[in-house]
Amino acid sequence: KPACGSSPPVPTVTASQVPSLFREPYILSGCRPVQQDWRCYLLSLFQKHNESLNVWTHLLAGPVLLLRWWANVDTLGCTLDDVTSLPLLLFLVSSLTYLYLSAAAHLLQSHSERAHYFFFLDYVGVPAWRERVGVIFLPGAAFFGWLSCTGCCYAKFRYRRPYPPQRKVCQLIPTGLAYVLDISPVAHRLLTVSWSQEPSLPFHALQIACFLLSALFFSCSIPEPFFPGNCDFVGQGHQIFHVLLSLCTFSVPKQIHKDSVLISPLDGSLCLFTFPVHSKHAPHDKLHTASFKSATGQVL
């Protein structure tokens, strides 16, 4: 095995020198050799390779998210005995979970094919956790959470490189359905309520735009096809997808806060898959806001 640790990091290699599982289209260099010691992959956090930005974008998003929450803790609130704080807590925990599982997956998956599948399937834990919450508040969201996870796992095992378009379909259709369900109350408000009446609506619109853009970069893996070999370290579509997903995450606490200030009654017809919360609309609606974000974390 190549040495690492006290010695300089093992140099990266070209795509042709790693198994096809670790090759990304139009990324020609910057690959870490497989079958090194685990420590090498941990230390590669400080090395320049083609997964560096994928790791760091999600690694740094966690502290930024916590700092944003901390800066607004007086207005956002976060007490365990207050049911209206529950969506925010769920959102924070599920976001940090997906961010750090994603960072770990991108950092360590190059060890071997077994490691690749093991780390990317850790995401099963995220919808499993959501499902426990979902059966209480949003069974429809929980169902689609499991469906999108199943679709991603199936696509991972079923298809080998070069990947056919069906692979993206398996990943994106269930996740898209989960997103449509989760966003439906917000979309209804965006279309029917004056934006000046609800201060959260511009944030919701911004987040939807970020999400749709992130889906575009995830599904099309652009711009690397136009610049083969020039996006090996910086500029890959997946990196842009990570940044946009992080921006979506950052905007959610503010939306949840603003939603708690002024909530319009929900249209029950748009929430067919959800339990009605008769006593108060706010927790239900805030959970939707948090939920549709966490649904996006399952596509890596």
Contacts with Zn ion by CB under 5 A lie at: 300
* Smallest gap from residue 103 Cβ to Zn ion (A): 9
Sign of CA dihedral 24, 157, 217, 54: negative
Write the burial class of residue 194 (CB in 10 Å: 0-12 exposed, 13-18 middle, 19+ buried): exposed
Closer CB to Zn ion, residue 181 or residue 300?
A: 300
Nearer to Zn ion (CB atom), residue 61 or residue 300:
300
Element (DSSP H or E) covering residue 297: none
Smallest distance, Zn ion to C-beta of residue 230, A? 20
Cβ-based nearer residue to Zn ion, 34 or 300: 300
Nearest approach in angstroms of CB 239 to Zn ion is 9
**Closest separation in Å from C-beta 110 to Zn ion:** 13
CA–CA distance, 174 with 170 (Å, rounded to integer): 7
> Considering beta carbons, is residue 126 or 300 the nearer one to Zn ion?
300
Written as six digits, the tokens of 32 are 């870490």
Closer Cβ to Zn ion, 153 or 300, answer by number: 300
Burial class for 109, CB neighbours closer than 10 Å (0-12, 13-18, 19+): buried
3-state secondary structure 212-248: HHHHHHHHHCCCHHHCCCCCCCCCCHHHHHHHHHHHH
Residues 6 or more apart whose CB falls under 8 angstroms from that of 55 comprise 45, 103, 106, 107
111 annotated ligand-binding residue: no
Give the residue ranges of DSSP H helices in 72-164. 73-76, 86-108, 113-120, 125-134, 139-158
* Residues whose CB falls within 8 Å of the CB of residue 294, separated by 6 or more in sequence, listed in order: 90, 91, 94, 95, 98, 126, 130, 145
Given the complex with Zn ion, which of 107 and 266 has the nearer CB atom? 107
Tokens coding 180 = 């449509």
Judged by beta carbon, residue 37 or residue 122, the one nearer Zn ion is 122
What is the number of other CB atoms lying within 10 angstroms of the CB of residue 168? 17
Cis peptide before 223 (omega within 30 of 0): yes
The answer to whether 204 is annotated as binding is: no
* Smallest separation (angstroms) from Zn ion to the CB of 190: 28
The answer on whether 238 is annotated among ligand-binding residues is yes
CB of 300 to Zn ion, least distance (A): 4
Least Å from the CB of residue 102 to Zn ion: 5
Q: Residue 180: CB partners within 8 Å, gap ≥ 6?
A: none
Which residue number places its CB atom closest to Zn ion?
A: 300
User: Binding site membership for Zn(2+): which residues?
Assistant: 106, 238, 242
